[in-house]
Amino acid sequence: MSDLVHPEIYRLAIERYGGDAQVTQAIGGMGELTAALVRMQQPKRHEDRRALKNDVTEEMADAFIMLAQLRMIYNDDELFWMFVNAKTERLAERLGV
């Protein structure tokens, strides 16, 4: 089973806008997620924590969609999962699991 939520829509976006444009979009989306996380970690006194959390969650959704498209663009799921598994195993070792 695929972990992609709407692969047909992601494929259509890549076909319509092109891989390079979607990579550029992904770069922007990751920057927006980074900025939202920084705001959440270092909120100003008047900032609403719930609104900050909502911003982070929304940017995570955008990043998820763009990461799914990047996987399609670079098209090497075997290598992707090899890295995911290796890095998860390394984390487990660090945690003593």
Q: What is the pLDDT of residue 1?
A: 38
Stated pTM of the model: 0.85
Query: So what's the pLDDT on residue 45?
Result: 77
Is the pLDDT reported for residue 2 higher than 60?
Answer: no
Distance between CA atoms of residues 15 and 21, nearest Å: 10
Query: Is residue 85 over pLDDT 90?
Result: yes
**What domains can be seen in the chain, in order of their start residue?**
7-95 (1.10.287)
Q: Tell me the per-residue pLDDT of 15-47, one tens digit each, with 9 for 90 and over.
A: 999 999 999 999 999 999 999 999 999 878 777
Task: For 43, list phi and psi in degrees, rounded to 5.
Answer: -70, 150
Determine which of 43-47, 50-54, 87-91 has the lowest per-residue pLDDT on average. Answer: 43-47
**Exposed/middle/buried for 38, CB within 10 Å: 0-12, 13-18, 19+?**
exposed
Per-residue pLDDT reduced to its tens digit, 71-82? 999 988 899 999
What is the pLDDT averaged over residues 63-73? 96
Q: Give the helix ranges, DSSP H, for the chain.
A: 7-17, 19-41, 49-74, 77-95
